[in-house]
Amino acid sequence: MKSGLMVVAVALLALSCGRNEKTTRVRTVPVAPVPTMWDRQIRNAVDAGDGDYRLGVLRERAAAEPRNIAVRMELAKAYGERGYPDMALELCRMTAARFPESGEVQLGLVRALRAMNRRQEAIEGLETFLRTQPQTSPDYFSWLGILRDEGGLWAAGEPDHRKAVELAPTVDSLHNNLGYNLLMQKKNEEAGAAFREALRLNPGSLIARNNLGLALAQQNASSQAVASWQASADPATAHNNMAAVWIEAGNYPEARKELETALGYNRNHPAALRNLALVARLEGKPAVMPDLSQQSWWERRKKSFKRLFVGPLEDSKAGKHESTTSSIHP
């Protein structure tokens, strides 16, 4: 006999009754497969779209116009805005596979990957795309620089920012991005030059002006930094920013001086009060408010005059940027 399993059919006979015993067959119901997470995400996204008029229209258009890249990208953006970044990413991936030569799709894929915190994949995909589809728009190189900056790869991102500036030298935001990259590498003078160029192109750029203040503060040009901040904010805020820079540098006595100056301008400045409390904790000393009552009448009048017509007081000896509570946002 060969080895292996032998299937034996067994007939049950009821000899006493003289007839065969009938066996009841139980019909098995096929078990439905457990839906995967991706299946649930699709179902959830479809359900969300069912009650969303704009999303429904975009889905219908994408189905009716499968080669319409703009509609596909708009649909992906809509999914992302409604809390389905994974759906947006998958749609961008499928669209990129179908239209590998499209720069618009590639940038959409980069944004979708970034939203899912997949920056390295975005960098590698964008570099591959640029090797096969060379581009002259600065957007691609700017995105490479931004992605590397967000990963702390400042030195690697600098050439990308410089390439973007080279392709579009009149765009102020590109100069600001280059400046911020240089600032993070402590190339303060070069950073200051980049911020100044951004401000020359767009004098109203609050971000560039705040960043210029940071660059000047890092060069110990405290009065110039305060002046830069005060061009877009009040004196109390400008001196508070300087105090925050000193806090980050660990120079608490200088931070206190700046905070006293800030509170001299505005005794109720929220950020300055919070920074004063922070310095007190870090130093282990009480948070003492400046006593303006001890100043002579002439000293108070002289300060008031300078506030109105001169700007920041000359006795503000400080030099750097924010810590926990500052009014600047690079």
The secondary element (H helix, E strand) that includes residue 285 is: none
Q: Given a cut of 90, is residue 85 above it in pLDDT?
A: yes
Q: Given a cut of 90, is residue 146 above it in pLDDT?
A: yes
Closest CA to 106 of 87, 83, 131, 82: 131
| Tokens read off for 180 | 């911020």
**Cα separation values, 153 from 175, 181, 218, 256, Å:** 18, 9, 21, 34
- Cβ proximity of 313 and 306 under 8 Å: yes
Amino acid at 116: M
Asked, colleague to colleague, whether 39-135 and 137-219 share their fold, the answer is yes
- Cβ proximity of 57 and 89 under 8 Å: no
| Pairing state between β 13-14 and 19-20 | antiparallel
Q: What is the DSSP letter of 14?
A: E
Mean pLDDT along residues 5-17: 32
Quick: pLDDT tens for 121-143: 999 999 999 999 999 999 999 99
Q: Given a cut of 70, is residue 62 above it in pLDDT?
A: yes
Q: Given a cut of 70, is residue 67 above it in pLDDT?
A: yes
- How far is residue 260's CA from residue 44's CA, in Å, rounded to a whole number? 56
* Helix intervals (H) in the chain: 37-50, 53-64, 69-81, 85-98, 103-115, 119-132, 138-150, 154-167, 172-184, 188-201, 206-218, 222-230, 235-249, 252-265, 270-283, 297-309
Higher pLDDT, 15 or 231: 231
What CATH number does the domain located at 39-135 have? 1.25.40.10
Q: Given a cut of 80, is residue 329 above it in pLDDT?
A: no
Q: Given a cut of 60, is residue 306 above it in pLDDT?
A: no
- % residues pLDDT > 70 (the chain): 71
> Which positions ≥6 away from 198 have C-beta within 8 Å?
172, 173, 175, 176, 179, 205, 208
Mean pLDDT along residues 213-224: 85
Helix pair 172-184, 188-201: axis angle to 10 deg: 160
Residue length, the chain?
330
- % residues pLDDT > 90 (the chain): 52
> Which positions ≥6 away from 152 have C-beta within 8 Å?
none
pTM above 0.75, yes or no: no
Q: Which CATH architecture has domain 137-219?
A: Alpha Horseshoe (1.25)
- Cβ proximity of 236 and 325 under 8 Å: no
Q: Given a cut of 50, is residue 7 above it in pLDDT?
A: no
Rg of the chain's alpha carbons, rounded to an integer?
33
The residues spanned by each domain of the chain are 39-135, 137-219, 222-330
- How far is residue 119's CA from residue 22's CA, in Å, rounded to a whole number? 67
- Cβ proximity of 236 and 260 under 8 Å: no
